[in-house]
Structures are given as C-alpha cells and as structure tokens.
C-alpha cells in the first residue's frame, strides 16, 4: 500500500489524511526503521507493508466506534505504538495512554511522542495486570491489537473501562480465538459489535470485537473473577 492507496482507503472508512498527519506518519516510519536496528520493534519494515499492516490496520478501529465522540483511550501491549500512536495522530481529541511491559519499547514510544510533538499521550512501563489494578475505570475505550486471547484480555483489562463504556479487541483470524462467552458472563459484559473484514490489497482476515462494560468494578474482585490463570503480558 503506497501513500496514495492509503489515502484512498482511509477515505472509504471516513478518515481524512491531511498533509500534517501524513508528515507525522512519515517521521514515525523513519523512527521505526532507525530504532528497529537497535531492538525488535517489528518484523514488518518495508514502507508499503507498514502503511498497510500497521498504519491502515490501526485505523480500522473506526469501523466499529466513532473515536471523535470519546475523550480517553488506553492501548494495552502497545509494542511499537500500534494502534495507539496512529490513533493519536488522526484523533488528537483523545487523551491516550500506551502500556507496554518492555522498557526499551516504552522509551521508543516516548521518543516518538517527543519527535512528533504529540500532546495528550504518554507511554507507561508496566504489566497489563499491574496497571489495570491501579487505574480502575479511568478510560472510555480500552483496546488491544494482537496481544492475547480475548478471554485473557478481558480479565486483565476490563478494570480500566468505565461503566457503560467499551473494550475493543483488534484481531486477525477469529476462527483461532478460544471461546470467550464464559468471560463475558462472569465479568458481566455485553458484546455490542462484531465486524469481520479483509485488509485491502492482500485480503488478510481481520476482526473487531466491541464489548460494553455493564457494571461498576468492585474495589476487590471476588474469586469468581479469576477466569483464567494467565501468563503476565
């Protein structure tokens, strides 16, 4: 996906790619390439693939929720900043927190934030399970892209979501996803959106799952909420 294809495909999902936003993406791409020589940020490095599989893919979240209507977002396991950094560039109205367990990646993310002069966004070095216990019900939207199975993500991240707001999982091929019905029932959440689609050009499968939190998180979870014994992320 070259830049012109990127602009056209974004228009199809109602997103305008201004020159300022495109300039920020170009600078972001150059930082990814520079720092990828020092650490493992991504195996995808050629520019056309980055625009398709990272930049465009990150913005497909807009297919299932209008990000212009919300104020706060948390990106769990942000890695090299997908989708959080890309979302911030296109939705400056959002105050965003990026959470990652590897300090080297967090340093990279903060460098990107500084170089792109992004405001209202920060990167935090912490494990998801630790961060979620310290920041209960602080976010309108919590998202994670290709981090872990949804039943794991829900147990770890639902604390962060405000009552009546949303957890959005960004997935690849949903057929390999373990059943998460039990997690929804135990955590008293409701699936309010489910979209499958294919990335343009390469036609790989994608899935967005929108889950609404239907209760206010208690200060201490009863034992029944220990749905799975998850590995730290």
Can you tell me whether residue 33 is helix, strand or coil?
helix
Distance CA 66, CA 156 (A): 24
Q: What is the pLDDT of residue 217?
A: 63
**Measured between alpha carbons, how far is 162 from 213 in angstroms, rounded to an integer?**
7
Is the confidence at residue 48, as pLDDT, over 60?
Answer: yes
Confidence of residue 141 (pLDDT cuts 50, 70, 90): very high
Q: Distance between CA 150 and CA 169 in Å, rounded? A: 7
Rg (CA), the chain: 17
Looking at residue 224, its pLDDT comes to 40
In this predicted structure, what is the pLDDT of residue 225? Answer: 42
- In this prediction, residue 165 carries a pLDDT of 97
Which residues face 167 on adjacent strands?
142, 211
Band (pLDDT 50/70/90 cuts) for residue 231 is: very low
Residue 232 has pLDDT above 80, yes or no: no
- 117: its two tokens: 């002069």
pLDDT above 60: residue 138: yes
What is the spatial distance between Cα 194 and Cα 2, in angstroms, rounded to a whole number? Answer: 29
- Looking at residues 54-74, what average pLDDT do you find? 97
**153-177: pLDDT as tens digits:** 888 889 999 999 999 999 988 887 8
Residue 74 reports pLDDT greater than 90: yes
DSSP 68-89: GG-SEEEEET-TTTTTHHHHHH
In whole angstroms, give the CA distance from residue 67 to residue 87: 9
pLDDT of residue 144: 93
Amino acid 229: pLDDT? 37
Q: Sign of torsion, CA 125 77 150 66?
A: positive
Q: Region 124-130: what's the mean pLDDT?
A: 93
Confidence of residue 9 (pLDDT cuts 50, 70, 90): very high
Q: Can you give the pLDDT at residue 216?
A: 78
pLDDT in tens, 97-109: 999 999 999 999 9
Mean local confidence (pLDDT), 22-34: 97
Question: How far apart (Å, rounded) are the C-alpha atoms in residues 133 and 219?
Answer: 9
pLDDT at 230 over 70: no
Q: Torsions phi, psi of 171, nearest 5?
A: -120, 165
CB 109 within 8 A of CB 83: no
């Amino acid at each position: 996906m070259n830049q012109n294809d990127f602009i056209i495909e974004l228009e199809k999902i109602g997103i305008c790619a201004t020159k300022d936003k495109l300039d920020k993406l170009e600078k972001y791409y150059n930082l990814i390439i520079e720092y990828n020589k020092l650490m493992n940020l991504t195996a995808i490095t050629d520019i056309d693939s980055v625009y398709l599989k990272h930049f465009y893919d990150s913005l497909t979240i807009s297919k299932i929720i209008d990000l212009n209507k919300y104020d706060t977002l948390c990106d769990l396991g942000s890695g090299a900043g997908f989708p959080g950094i890309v979302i911030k560039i296109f939705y400056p109205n959002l105050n965003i927190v990026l959470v990652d367990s590897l300090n080297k990646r967090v340093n990279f993310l903060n460098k990107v934030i500084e170089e792109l002069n992004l405001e209202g966004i920060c990167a935090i070095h912490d494990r998801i399970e630790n961060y979620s216990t310290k920041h209960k019900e602080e976010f309108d939207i919590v998202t994670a892209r290709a981090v872990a199975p949804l039943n794991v993500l829900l147990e770890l991240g639902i604390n962060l979501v405000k009552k009546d707001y949303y957890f959005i999982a960004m997935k690849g091929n949903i057929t390999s996803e373990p059943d998460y019905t039990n997690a929804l029932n135990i955590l008293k959440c409701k699936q309010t959106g489910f979209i499958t689609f294919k990335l343009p050009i390469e036609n790989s499968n994608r899935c967005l799952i929108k889950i609404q939190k239907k209760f206010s998180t208690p200060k201490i979870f009863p034992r029944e909420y220990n749905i799975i014994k998850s590995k730290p992320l």
